[in-house]
Amino acid sequence: MKIDRIELRELQMPLVHPFETSFGRTTTRRIVLVQVDAEGLTGWGEVTAGEEPFYSYETPETAWHILRDYLIPWTLGKDWVAPGDVAARFRPIRGHNMAKAALENALWDIAAQQQDLPLAKLVGGTLTEIPCGVSIGIQTSEEELLEKVGREVATGYQRIKVKVKPGWDLNVLEAIRTRFPRLLLMADANSAYSLADLAHLKEFDRFYLMMIEQPLGWDDLLDHAKLQKEISTPICLDESIHNADDARKALQIGAGKIINIKLGRVGGFTEAKRVHEVCRARNVPVWCGGMLESGIGRAHNIAMSTLPGFTLPGDVSASKRYWAEDIIDPQVTVSAQGTIHVPQTAGLGYTPNHRRIEKLTVRKESFE
Ligand code: OSB
Ligand code: MG
């Protein structure tokens, strides 16, 4: 595969509802898209970094820099055999996984089109329908949260994740459990606690949650292992898993029992497949996380979610939960059973809408 041209662009996309986590609130996403032209085909990738360096150190700005000054020059004009070769070429750069993933995933899109395969098939997926959950941010009142939970359950979503932080945790879980005793429920703390909160974290056990996601430090494994020995709720790791080695070490020391795989956080499909393998070899369930993606990143997440180890509902949900109008056609929709039907056409399975993308673009730069 010979890469002829790469275009970077930044889109500003207002969310239909602001999204609040323990580290902050997002109202408009700044999304960097990577468009790759090779041998008459076009592939797309998305940088999933947050606007601020609060989930991880990456931002749209750091990704633009790493792509423009390193990843794109290292990729252009070279004759690649497989997208995985690009992943290997990017290894000398430490971190910046979301920048790497955007470019590598665009090449997977092209490879799928070249081989006339759905992206899901090319990456090794087997499911044709994926189970979906939703992630619900911190709200201004418990009543508002309960109403949102009720609406998502009625829509059909198979599990509900709520964001928690000190002061918005036991009280809201209690309220949800009282109203929805049998709901598949989990909480995501985004590193809002420390081991000093041990007694408090033990109280989460009474809500029989499916899991608690990343309760402790964003880059910690050791304290999570200590915590897991003290609580019965399974710990799911998100922020602290950057590659397959992290996953292996985490599972070896008992830092968690479940792993959330995000393509951006681990640097693209090649490494995400390795994380999946590490977990599958140990019978550890995984699920696909989300980063408030546009349709491009969402389409990649759908493909990833079809691998056989993705046995738990993920955070991959319908376009309309985020956008008045997504940038792909058709929009991502969810069935009444809370599933997404995986497209069976070649490539992404959704068509990027150039007119809409152009309208939302605030800057672009192309490289030949
Ligand atoms: O921790 O999973 C997370 C959104 C932004 C940053 C981090 C996270 C999230 C979500 C939302 O939970 C997932 C989604 O709906 O895309
Ligand atoms: Mg998370």
The pLDDT of residue 1: 82
Query: What's the confidence (pLDDT) of residue 321?
Result: 98
The Cα-based distances of 107 to 87, 124, 185, 300, 365 in angstroms read 10, 16, 36, 12, 18
Query: What's the pLDDT score for residue 78?
Result: 83
How high is the pLDDT of residue 126?
A: 97
- List the catalytic residue out of 100, 121, 262, 273: 262
Catalytic residue among 161, 163, 165, 273: 163
113's enclosing H/E stretch is: helix 97-114
The pLDDT value recorded for residue 34 is 98
Let me know if 362 is exposed, middle or buried by CB neighbors in 10 A (0-12, 13-18, 19+): exposed
Give the binding-site residues of ligand 1, using a 6 Å CB cut-off: 50, 55, 135, 188, 190, 238, 289-292, 315
pLDDT digits (tens, 9 = 90+) for 209-237: 999 999 999 999 999 999 999 999 999 99
Ligand nearest to the backbone CA of 315: 1
Neighbours of ion ligand 2 (CB under 5 A): 188, 213, 238
Q: How far is the CA of 343 from the centre of ligand 1 (A)?
A: 23
Over residues 30-50, mean pLDDT: 97
| pLDDT above 80 (res 240) | yes
Ligand 2 centroid, distance to 41 Cα (angstroms):
34
Pocket test for ligand 1, best of 47, 213, 261, 292 (most atoms within 8 A of CB): 292
To the query of whether residue 163 is one of the catalytic residues in this protein, the response is: yes
Mutate to test the pocket of ligand 1, among 13, 135, 316, 320 (most ligand atoms within 8 A of CB): 135
Residues 205-228 as b or e (16 or more Cβ within 10 Å = b): eebebbbbbbbbbeebbebbbebb
Q: Is the pLDDT of residue 340 over 90?
A: yes
Q: What percent of the chain has pLDDT over 70?
A: 100
Separation of CA 290 and ligand 2 centre (Å) = 8
Q: Per-residue pLDDT tens for 176-210? A: 999 999 999 999 999 999 999 999 999 999 999 99
Indicate whether 309 pLDDT > 90: yes
pLDDT of 81 strictly over 80: no
Per DSSP, which regions of 91-232 are E strands? Answer: 129-131, 133-136, 159-163, 185-188, 212-213
Distance 291 CA to ligand 1 centre (A): 5
Residue type, 172: V
* Each residue's pLDDT tens digit, 253-269: 999 999 999 999 999 99
Return the pLDDT at 79: 82
pTM of the model: 0.96
Q: What mean pLDDT do residues 1-26 have?
A: 96
Q: How confident is the model at residue 251 (pLDDT cuts 50, 70, 90)?
A: very high
Kindly report the average pLDDT of the chain as a whole number: 97
Q: Which band of pLDDT confidence, cut at 50, 70 and 90, is reported for residue 77?
A: confident
Mean pLDDT calculated for residue range 122-132: 97
Instruction: Please tell me the predicted confidence (pLDDT) of residue 80.
Output: 79
